[in-house]
């Protein structure tokens, strides 16, 4: 991809942007109450933390610096700017297999020209039909209900130069049941920087090192409202029948900051221009406002950018403590993917799968299908 039309950043401007990135990296921990396990359980809307995409799922979210296209709307919106023309993504997540909880995700990105890209994502949860019970009727004879969880993201990303991209996402959050609901909005922001080396007359690009920062789930508190928070009460003194209301406390969004790096290792013979074999290492440090920090590592092997194998690992304080652990995730994630050419103009069909082991139930299975329209 060449330099975007209409941009003419000088070397001094490039250095300024890089310094701004580093400043954000230094200040981010303080801004997010970094790694505060004492506040664990103090946030709501934690469905925002569940990754619906297979590629980054297999890497355990370690690809903050290198994620591209539609998938960037979840981890680092700066990567959305690399959308060449149009991308369509569909994902299905079998969350904690055995619970019958499924997550459906749709994402679309469109390049508008001049380095500008818009995107939209729709993420919904399917909990199935659950029996209705009450204190007076605990035998589940009142029918069924299904909780409703829906997140809609509207994203914009911009390519400032060959090396620097950035963007923001406005996310609309809705969750609840028929008689009690909470709604809110959250903001994500992210930037990416990559080195670009052009050799010879053939404009061979070698993007070895990438750096990314993303701030996620920043927004006002949410609060439940609705008739489901009320109950029938009899006043002892007068015997009057009244409707009492139980107040709902507001809750924070699960704010966090990701700082990541990645590095491409070309495994072909020295001097080769084909780059048939590529090994990419990923690393990410996650500053959490409402739990302990997370370190995640990932490794991806790509053959001709057509067949990929991926592995990931995350570490959090007490992760191996069977009595006092802080996350259901444990072990090494894995997955694979294929990028199949569809047309001579470069359109591709992507098929990706990821498995994430968990302490309870039978892990998380994620399948993603995507169609990528080329720029020509």
Separation between Cα atoms, residue 246 and residue 341, nearest integer Å? 58
Q: Over 90: is that where the pLDDT of 196 sits?
A: no
Higher pLDDT, 289 or 260: 260
pLDDT reported for residue 272:
56
- At residue 24's C-alpha, the angle toward residues 72 and 28, to 5°, is 90
Residue 297: inside a domain: yes
Asked if residue 245 is part of any domain, the answer here is: no
Residue 227 within any structural domain of the chain: no
More confident call, 375 vs 306: 306
Residue 9's pLDDT is 46
233 located within any domain: no
Query: pLDDT at residue 54 above 80?
Result: yes
For the chain, what's the residue count? 376
- State the average pLDDT over residues 242-265: 87
Separation between Cα atoms, residue 143 and residue 255, nearest integer Å = 37
Residue 208 has pLDDT above 70, yes or no: yes
Q: What would the mean pLDDT of 1-22 be, rounded to a whole number?
A: 48
Mean pLDDT of all residues in 169-180: 94
Residue 1 lies in a domain: no
Q: For residue 145, which phi and psi values (nearest 5 degrees)? A: -145, 165
Q: What is the mean pLDDT of residues 246-270?
A: 87
Residue 368 host element (H or E): strand 364-373
How many folded domains does the chain comprise?
1
> What whole-number distance in Å separates Cα of residue 267 and Cα of residue 220?
48
Mean of the per-residue pLDDT values of the chain: 85
Residue 31's pLDDT band (cuts 50, 70, 90): very low
User: Is the C-alpha dihedral spanning 35, 40, 46, 49 positive or negative?
Assistant: positive
Decide if pLDDT at 233 tops 90: no
Give the C-alpha separation, 213 to 192, whole Å. 7
The pLDDT of 312-318, averaged and rounded, is 89
pLDDT beyond 80 at 269 = no
120-134 confidence digits (pLDDT tens): 999 999 999 888 888
For residue 340, give its domain range. Answer: 11-38+50-221+254-373
pLDDT of residue 2: 44
**pLDDT at residue 68 is higher than 60:** yes
- Give the pLDDT score at 199: 53
CA angle 254, 256, 257 (to 5 degrees): 165
Model confidence at 204, pLDDT cuts 50, 70, 90, reads: low
> Residue 39: its pLDDT value, please?
66
- Separation between Cα atoms, residue 238 and residue 236, nearest integer Å: 6
Phi-psi map region of 313: left, alpha, beta (phi>0 left; psi -120 to 50 alpha): beta
Residue 107 dihedral angles phi and psi, to the nearest 5°: -140, 145
Report the pLDDT value the prediction gives residue 360, as an integer from 0 to 100. 87
| pLDDT for the residue numbered 270 | 63
In a domain, 19, yes or no: yes
Residues in a beta bridge with 252 = 43
Whether residue 20 has pLDDT greater than 70: no
Give a yes or no: residue 300 inside a domain.
Answer: yes
pLDDT confidence band for 32 (50 / 70 / 90): very low
pLDDT digits (tens, 9 = 90+) for 111-161: 999 999 999 999 999 999 888 888 778 887 788 989 999 999 999 999 998
Whichever domain contains 74, its CATH number is: 2.40.160.40
- Domain contains 106: yes
SS3 57: helix
Q: Return the ∠ at Cα 162 (arms to 161 and 163), rounded to 5°.
A: 90
């Amino acid at each position: 991809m060449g330099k975007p039309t209409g941009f003419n950043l000088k070397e001094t401007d490039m250095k300024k942007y890089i310094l701004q990135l580093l400043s954000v990296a230094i200040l981010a921990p303080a801004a997010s109450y970094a790694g505060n396990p004492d506040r664990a359980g103090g946030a709501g809307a934690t469905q925002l933390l569940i990754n619906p995409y297979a590629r980054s799922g297999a890497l355990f979210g370690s690809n903050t610096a290198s994620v591209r296209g539609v998938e960037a709307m979840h981890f680092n919106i700066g990567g959305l700017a690399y959308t060449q023309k149009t991308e369509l993504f569909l994902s299905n997540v079998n969350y904690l297999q055995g619970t019958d909880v499924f997550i459906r995700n749709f994402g679309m990105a469109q390049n508008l020209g001049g380095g500008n890209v818009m995107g939209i994502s729709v993420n919904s949860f399917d909990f199935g039909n659950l029996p209705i019970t009450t204190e007076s009727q605990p035998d589940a004879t009142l029918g069924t209900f299904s909780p409703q969880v829906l997140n809609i993201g509207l994203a914009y990303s911009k390519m400032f130069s060959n090396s620097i991209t950035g963007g923001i996402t406005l996310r609309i959050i809705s969750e609840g049941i028929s008689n009690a609901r909470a709604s809110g909005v959250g903001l994500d922001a992210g930037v990416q920087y990559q080195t670009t080396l052009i050799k010879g007359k053939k404009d061979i690009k070698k993007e070895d090192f990438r750096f990314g920062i993303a701030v996620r789930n920043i927004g006002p508190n949410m609060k439940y409202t609705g008739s489901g928070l009320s109950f029938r009460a009899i006043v002892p003194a007068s015997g009057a029948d009244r409707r009492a209301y139980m107040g709902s406390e507001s809750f924070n969004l699960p704010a966090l900051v990701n700082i990541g790096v990645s590095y491409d290792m070309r495994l072909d013979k020295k001097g080769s221009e084909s780059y048939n074999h590529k090994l990419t290492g990923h690393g990410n440090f996650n500053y959490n406002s409402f739990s302990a920090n997370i370190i995640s590592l990932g490794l991806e092997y790509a053959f001709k950018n057509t067949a990929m194998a991926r592995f990931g690992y995350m570490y959090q304080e007490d992760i191996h403590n069977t009595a006092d652990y802080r996350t259901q995730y444990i072990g090494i994630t894995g997955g694979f993917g294929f990028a199949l050419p569809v047309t001579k103009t470069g359109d591709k069909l992507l098929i990706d799968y990821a498995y994430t082991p968990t302490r309870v139930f039978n892990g998380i299975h994620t399948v993603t299908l995507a169609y990528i329209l080329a720029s020509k």
